[in-house]
Chain A
Amino acid sequence: MAEKRKSMIKIKPKKYKVGDVVKVDFIVIHPMDTGMKKDKKTGEIKPAHYIDSIKFSFDGKPFTTMKVWESVSTNPYFSVKYKVTGKGKITVDYTDNQGEKNSKSKKIKPKG
């Protein structure tokens, strides 16, 4: 069973209209181990464990895909821009190198 991770999508600014360009921030709680650090308790080297691919999509249509390596910080944060075209749902699917698959989505509700 894949472990459920805490993640969050933030749209900035909070109020937007159709045609506005908004920032889509995605934050996930993930260790992003490089495979070089030692565990402080056991003294053994922790195996590499990092997110390797991320897909941002709107109503099932992907608009940004990312390939990520271990050089990205612990609890990573990714931010891209997106032009609002109407009501829908932004979904972020992400997988890590140990095969964990998760996704998070947020509704888009433009005003005016």
Chain B
Amino acid sequence: MERRKFIQSMFSASAVAVVATPMGAFAKEEKKASKKGPNDMSFDDAVKAITDGKEVKDSDKVKLSVPEIAENGAVVPVKVNVDHPMEEKNYVKAIHVLNTANGNARCADIMLTSANAEGYFATRIKLSKTQEVVALVELSDGSFIKSAKSVKVTIGGCG
């Protein structure tokens, strides 16, 4: 009796396993395919599009403030402060807010002028999962500096 039971259980278990694995795999693939956004862009492509292959330096001048842990990924406050003069010929040209793991890596591009008087920008963004937020700053002389910080996301906010 024991042997029969053992064989029975073995067969049923293997059958379940065989049926379950491909189904699961298919379901996952479908989910991935349907989650493509209209203008998806990877982080590396986004950086290339902005800098055109130029070197990007990490700098203390860029102060990026984001929460360390975001309970709700749908609303993550982001604040960027750039410690750089805003004169007529020497100013912060643009601030790009990027993420590393959303479908579309670009969040917002802000083109500033000397009338702003301070390199400052704040907004709220959506993050799908735990990842880094990057502030890429373009100065008027054409150089790029950046600062990155990781954010832990408990509940994703991209649907």
Contact = CB atoms under 8 A, between A and B. Distances in A.
A and B physically associate: yes
Given A45-B34, A66-B110, A67-B108, A77 B123 contact: yes
A38 B159 contact: yes
Interface string A67-88: 1111111101111111101000
A97 to B, nearest CB: 8
B116 to A, nearest CB: 5
Contacts, number: 110
Interface residues of B, number: 36
A36 interface: yes
Interface stretch (B17-25, B35-43, B137-145): B35-43
B117 interface: yes
B107 to A, nearest CB: 4
A30 B150 CA distance: 27
Contacts of B74: 73-74
A64 B68 CA distance: 29
Contacts of A74: 74-75
B105 to A, nearest CB: 8
Q: Main SS of the interface on chain A? A: strand
Interface residues of A, number: 33
A73 B74 CA distance: 6
B10 interface: no
B122 A78 contact: yes
B124 A72 contact: yes
Interface in B6-60: 34-39
B159 A63 contact: no
A63 B38 contact: no
B37 A48 contact: yes
A64 to B, nearest CB: 6
Contacts of B103: 34, 36
5 contacts: A70-B126, A73-B75, A78-B121, A80-B120, A82-B116
Interface of B: 34-39, 74-76, 99, 102-104, 106-113, 115-118, 120-127, 157-159
